[in-house]
Amino acid sequence: MSATALNTPPSSRPIVVTHGGAGADARDRDGCAAAANAGMQSLRDGSGALQAAVAAVRVLEDDPRFNAGTGSVLRMDGVTVEMDAAVMDSQGRLGAVAGLRRVRHPVQVAAAVADTPHWLLCGEGALRFARHIGAGDHDPVTPQALRKHQSMLEKLRRGERLVHGEDNASFAQHWNYPTPLAVAPGQACDTVGAVVRDAGGHYAVAGSTGGCAPALLGRVGDTPIIGAGFYAGPAGAVAVTGIGEHIVRHLLAHTVHGWMADGMPLDDALRRALTLFDPAIDIGLIAVNASDSGACSNRDMPWAAAEGAQ
C-alpha cells in the first residue's frame, strides 16, 4: 500500500480497527482480523471501548508475527527486549508503560496503570508494578525474532545504511549496554494497535510495540507517548505506527485528532498526516470518528476492521 487511505463504509455502528505495523507484511492481515474480532466480541460481551481495544491488542501481542509482546524485536545486544504500550479513551482514562521487560501482555499492564495515580510507568518500576498486578514472568523472545536479528546483522555487515538520516556508527559511539559492543543490527520496527468506537459513541485506542532496532538501551519511541503514538478524545481515536523519533516531533495522533475535530474528513486527515514526513520514513495510522474509520500508510501495513450491529 502506498500513500493510500482505505476506509470502511461510513457508519456510526460500533467498530474495532486494528493494525500490525507500518512496514509489516500485509499478508498477515488475518492476525489483524482475529484481533478486531476479539475486540468486537468484547464489546458484544458488554465491555466498553477501552476494554475492547485492550482485548484486540492482546491478540496481536500473542501473535509472534508482530513486533509486540511475544515476537518483539531484540535490542542491539541480541538478548534484551524492551516493550512499550499505552491505552486511552475519550472519557479520560489513560495509562502507559515504557521499557517493560518479561511480560506477556504489556497492554494489560498499561491499562492497569490507568487505575493508579500516574499515567506512565517505565523500566524497573513498570516491571515491579506488572508483577504486583499478577502479570507473571514471560520470555517474549521467539525463534523468528532471533532469525530477524541475525539477518539484520548480515545487512550491517554488508554495509547497508540502517536508519534514515543516521550513521550506523552513531550507535556504537553511544553504546550504553552493560555487555560489550555488538555489531549494530539493521532497522526493524512495527507496532500493533487498535481503535474502537463503542455503541455509546465513546472512543478508545490501545497500542503495543517492541520498539525499533537499532536502538540504544532504554530507547522509547512514540507508542507510549500521549498525543504522539496515540490519542482519543471527543472527535475520535487515532493510533500511529512508524519511526517514533519522527512521529513525536509532529505529535501526530493529537494533530490528526485536531484536524478531525475541526471538521476534516477522516480520510483526508489520514492522507494529510503522511505528507508531513519524508517518504523514506515509515508511517501508518488507523483512526475512527463519529461516522468513519480507516487506515493509511506509506508502506505495506496489515490492518482489519470488525463492525457490529447498530
Rounded distance, CA 172 to CA 306, Å?
44
Residue 206: Cβ-neighbour burial (10 angstroms; 0-12, 13-18, 19+): buried
Q: Is 100 in the site for ligand ASP (CB under 6 A)?
A: no
Whether the CB-CB separation of 210 and 140 falls below 8 Å is answered with yes
Angle at 283 between CA 280 and CA 286, to 5 degrees: 160
Q: How far is the CB of 155 from ligand ASP (least distance, A)?
A: 17
Q: Which of 31, 39, 244, 302 binds ligand ASP (CB under 6 A)?
A: 244
Which amino acid, 264?
M
Q: Is 221 in the site for ligand ASP (CB under 6 A)?
A: yes
Known catalytic membership, residue 275: no
Q: How far is the CB of 38 from ligand ASP (least distance, A)?
A: 21
Q: Is 212 in the site for ligand ASP (CB under 6 A)?
A: yes
Find, among 141, 143, 101, the residue nearest to 121 by Cα. 101
Residue 64, beta-bridge partner list: none
Q: Which of 42, 51, 187, 223 binds ligand ASP (CB under 6 A)?
A: 223
Q: Is 236 in the site for ligand ASP (CB under 6 A)?
A: no
Which residue has cell 471501548? Answer: 49
Residue 215 or 266: the one with the smaller Cβ distance to ligand ASP is: 215
Rounded distance, CA 134 to CA 99, Å?
18
Order across the sheet with 83-89: list the strands: 120-122, 94-100, 83-89, 203-209, 191-197, 15-19, 303-307
Q: Is 21 in the site for ligand ASP (CB under 6 A)?
A: yes
Whether the CB-CB separation of 224 and 84 falls below 8 Å is answered with yes
Which of these is catalytic: 191, 209, 223, 241? 191
Residue 31 or 229: the one with the smaller Cβ distance to ligand ASP is: 229
Q: Is 208 in the site for ligand ASP (CB under 6 A)?
A: no
Residue 47 or 241: the one with the smaller Cβ distance to ligand ASP is: 241
Residue 43 or 189: the one with the smaller Cβ distance to ligand ASP is: 189
Report 156-195 residues binding ligand ASP (CB under 6 A).
189-191
Q: Is 211 in the site for ligand ASP (CB under 6 A)?
A: yes
Q: Which residues bind ligand ASP (CB under 6 A)?
A: 21-22, 189-191, 209, 211-212, 221-223, 229, 241-244
Residues designated as active site: 191
